[in-house]
């Protein structure tokens, strides 16, 4: 796993988000290998455009897992809005069986943060700040 810190003029960050999101009505859209491949390529293009790093992406029949490293200027809701919006529009244009759906994705998603150290390590580090010197 790539845990390189991102550097900008004013920040150094390591923000990794794990997203899980589902198609509307838990439809099994990823059974179709063409839809699966096109979805992954769209997400890869979008992440390259936004300078997000995909650590891992995988789909099951009725949901997707995305583990991505982003800049601190993007909130999880911004990321989901961009990914779901663009992929829904393009997938519905390219695949007729998806065009009958009002949208491809549900409004809901799961998100979790992850870095290269555990929460317990950070908690201990913060608590020990007073006693360091």
pLDDT tens column, 37-57? 999 999 999 999 999 999 889
d(CA 75, CA 129): 28
Burial 84-115 (b: 16+ CB within 10 A, else e): beebbebbbeebeebeebeebbeeebeeeebe
Token look-up 């790539």 returns 2
Mean pLDDT of the chain: 88
Return the beta strands (E) in 14-126 as ranges: 15-21, 53-59, 64-70, 110-114
- Is 42 contained in some domain? yes
- Is 62 contained in some domain? yes
Ranges of residues in the chain with a pLDDT under 50 are 1
Q: Which domain CATH number covers 34?
A: 3.30.70.1290
* Overall domain count for the chain: 1
Q: What are phi and psi of 28, to 5 degrees?
A: -90, 65
Q: Domain residues for 35? A: 6-127
- Is 76 contained in some domain? yes
- What pLDDT is recorded for position 114? 77
- Is 120 contained in some domain? yes
- Is 132 contained in some domain? no
- Is 133 contained in some domain? no
Task: Write out 81-113 in H/E/C secondary structure.
Answer: HHHHHHHHHHHHHHCHHHHCCCCCECCCCEEEE
Q: What token pair was written down for 38? A: 């096109």
């Amino acid at each position: 796993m790539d845990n390189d810190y991102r550097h900008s003029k004013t920040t150094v960050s390591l923000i990794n988000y794990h997203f899980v999101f589902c198609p509307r009505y838990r439809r099994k859209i990823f059974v179709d290998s063409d839809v699966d491949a096109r979805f992954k390529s769209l997400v890869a293009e979008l992440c390259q455009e936004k300078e997000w790093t995909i650590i891992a992406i995988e789909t099951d029949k009725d949901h997707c897992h995305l583990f991505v490293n982003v800049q601190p200027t993007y909130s999880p809701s911004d990321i989901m809005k961009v990914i779901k919006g663009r992929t829904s529009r393009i997938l519905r244009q390219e695949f007729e069986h998806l065009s009958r759906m009002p949208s491809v994705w549900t409004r809901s998603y799961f998100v979790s943060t992850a870095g290269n150290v555990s929460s317990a390590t950070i908690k201990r580090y913060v608590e020990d700040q007073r006693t360091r010197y």
